[in-house]
Amino acid sequence: MLDYTKEELLSLIESTPEKFNEWKRDKEDIDLSEVDFSNMALREIDFTDVDLNSSSFADCNLALVNFNGADLTAVDFTRAVVTECDFSESILTGADCSYAQMTYCNFTDCDMAGTVLSETDLTSSDLSAAENLNSSRYDSDTIWPDDDMLPEGFDMACKDDLSSLKDDEDMPTNEY
């Protein structure tokens, strides 16, 4: 089988995803870390067990992409439209999903510690078995799926992150 550079794989993924999927079947330890997929439309790509650490999918349109078991640590999904993608058993720690539409996705056994979900639309996504969802960062504009798609006892009330902490001297006073 041919070995490709990251740039050649990026071109293959963009132009003929079925050839990438076929090539990938015989490979282990595929490293696509720090690759810029920004602004691409990707459909039916198999990223199962691929190292995508610190890559960018910002402003992408992703549909039916399989991220099962992938390392998505610190990946940028800002403003991406992500539909019917499988994130099961993947690592999303520190990923930025701000302003993304992540609908009808599966997050079973996905580690979401430190994932930024500010103003993220998670409509109809299955987060019921997601790991460390309580350790993610979200705000009052995050759109959650129905309760049966969230972990039992999950509190989706607005959580302030550390940037919202103020010193006592920064607090307004009621002096007249």
Residue 4 lies in a domain: yes
What distance in Å separates the CA atoms of residue 79 and residue 160, rounded to the nearest whole number? 21
**28-32: long-range pairs with CB below 8 Å, 24+:** 31/6, 32/6
Residue 172 lies in a domain: no
Q: Choose among 86, 41, 92: nearest CA to 62.
A: 41
Domain, as residue range, for 95: 1-137
pLDDT of 22-50, one tens digit each? Answer: 999 988 899 999 999 999 999 999 999 99
pLDDT of 72-122, one tens digit each? Answer: 999 999 999 999 999 999 999 999 999 999 999 999 999 999 999 999 999
At 22, which CATH number? 2.160.20.80
Residues 6+ apart with CB under 8 A from 125: 102, 103, 104, 105, 106, 107, 145, 149
pTM equals 0.87
